[in-house]
Every structure is written in C-alpha cells, then in structure tokens.
Amino acid sequence: MTNNPDPKEQHPQPDTEGEQLAPPGSKSSVTPDMGDEPDHGEESYEGSGQLQDQVAIVTGGDSGIGRAVALAFAREGADVVIAYLEDEEEDGAETARLIEAAGRRAVKVPTDLTSEKACDELVERTVSEFGRIDILVNNAAYQMAQPKGIEDITTEQFDRVMKTNLYAMFWLCKKSLPHMSSGASIINTSSVQASSPSPELMDYATTKAGIANFTRALASSLGERGIRVNSVAPGPIWTPLIPATMPEEKVESFGQQTPLGRVGQPAELAPAYVFLASGKASYITGEVLAVTGGQPVTV
C-alpha cells in the first residue's frame, strides 16, 4: 500500500467566501474572511542541493507561484532575485525573508516590467550583484476577467496583459542571454488557459498560448548553446490573483472542475520549476509541463 496521501484530499478546497481583493492581488491583503491562505511550501518544502550556488531571477516573486518557486530555489541552494510591483513591497519582503531563512541571498527589485527599461535594470542589477544569471523564471502575469469577453476588454487592459505577460518575457530573455552560459535554464509560466481558454480571459489566454510557442521556438534556437528553455502550465492555483481578478461566483467553484476536484496550491507547482531548472532535466527543452490537477494541456 502506498504511503502517499490521496491527491484529492492533500490540500482541502479553500474557504472562498468573502469580499473580493483589489487587483492585482497581494498575499498581505488575504485576511481570514478571504478564505485559507495559499501554501507556498513554508512548512513542507525540503531541499536537496539541486541548485547549489546558482543565481536565479524570479519575476512575480512576491506571492503565489513566484513565492513558492523562490522559496524552493533557495532551499535547493540558489540565490534569488525577485521582481515585483512596487505596491507589493510587504509581500516582497516576506519572500526575501524566506529566502534568507534558507541561508541564501535575496535581492528585491520592486519594478514594473511592462517597461523595457525596467527589464534592462533588473538584468543589470542581477549581474552587478552576482556576475551571471543561471536561471530565469518569467512568472509575472496580469489578468482581469471580463464576463462579456471582448466587449469589455479595453485597449488599456489588453496592452497591460500583453506587456506584462509577453513583452516582459521577450525583453528579459533577450537581455539575460549575454549573461547565461551552457547549463543555464529559462522557465516561462504558461497556463491551462493556453489550450482551454475561458471567454472572460480571452486576452490572458492569448498570451499564455503565445508563451508556449515562444518557449518552443527559443528552445530550438538556444539548444546549440546548451541553454534549455521550458514552460510550466499551471491549472487552477489558489493565489491572491484569483479573488482579485475573478467574479466571486467563479472564485467559489475555482478548481472543482478538475479531475482531482480541487484547486491546487503554489507549493504543488514549485517542484516542477526546480526539476526543469536542475540537471535532472538535462535532456528536456522546449517542453510544456502541465500541473493542472488532470486538465489536459495540448497547446
């Protein structure tokens, strides 16, 4: 008999009753009446030196998936530069504390990556601190559900989604490459939305499909340089982004449509990023790794 827990019950469905959060959502604004706090692996993730002395950039590193990845990387032995919006300083400071508690260096870069200059500065700050970049995780994202779909998506929103999710990834990959050598890894966060788009998330889903194709094209380009490029495609994951950007009725049932019947936790995503960044994934590039509770990703 297996000693593994039942995956349907490993993390209970959060209590989602309560008022919505202001976008883009922050961990520090999650109060008890907003439901259970996300699990980033604070009590559960145990490292084994898979990323010892490597240097990683994690965008959107203040909360949610980004915090879980930054924490896991640090416990695997990496120093971590986290980028996040200036309004999320409290969350960023907590992620930095977790990195330092793991005995690694944390560098906080509050910034808005919809600006090419900000992406330049993030890379320059990392190189000035560490001299190189071993792992780049393009995780920062913006979404805002619009119940009427395209009719309610403004040009301003469309621009913000495209620049946060696609432009920043493009700029950071391009600007990081001169500071990456053979063995380095780029990991981009796609989504189950890439192949199963929700009408109310049309713009967001478009970017996530683009990320999958960008990942494959860049992997083909960089293979000869020994730099691997992969993507993780999360399914419904419980982060502050969800109650901040989705209607309350959608939040209440979030994740229940999966074969496992529940929402996922950021801590359940982090091992996928660690694996793809590590030498254990040495023959994997151009891959989209789905962590979706059983929902298929075919993009």
Query: On the CB side of 191, how many CA atoms lie within 13 Å of its CA?
Result: 25
Q: How far is CA 270 from the centre of its chain?
A: 9
CB contact set of 32 (below 8 Å; sequence gap of 6+): none
Count Cβ atoms below 10 Å from residue 187 Cβ, excluding itself: 26
Catalytic residue among 45, 84, 142, 204: 204
* Structural contact between residues 100 and 69, judged by C-beta atoms closer than 8 angstroms: no
Task: Report, in angstroms and rounded to the nearest whole number, the Rg of the chain calculated over CA atoms.
Answer: 18
Q: Is 204 a catalytic residue?
A: yes
Picking from 238, 136, 234, the residue whose alpha carbon sits closest to that of residue 189 is 234
* Structural contact between residues 270 and 72, judged by C-beta atoms closer than 8 angstroms: yes
Which residues belong to the active site?
Answer: 204
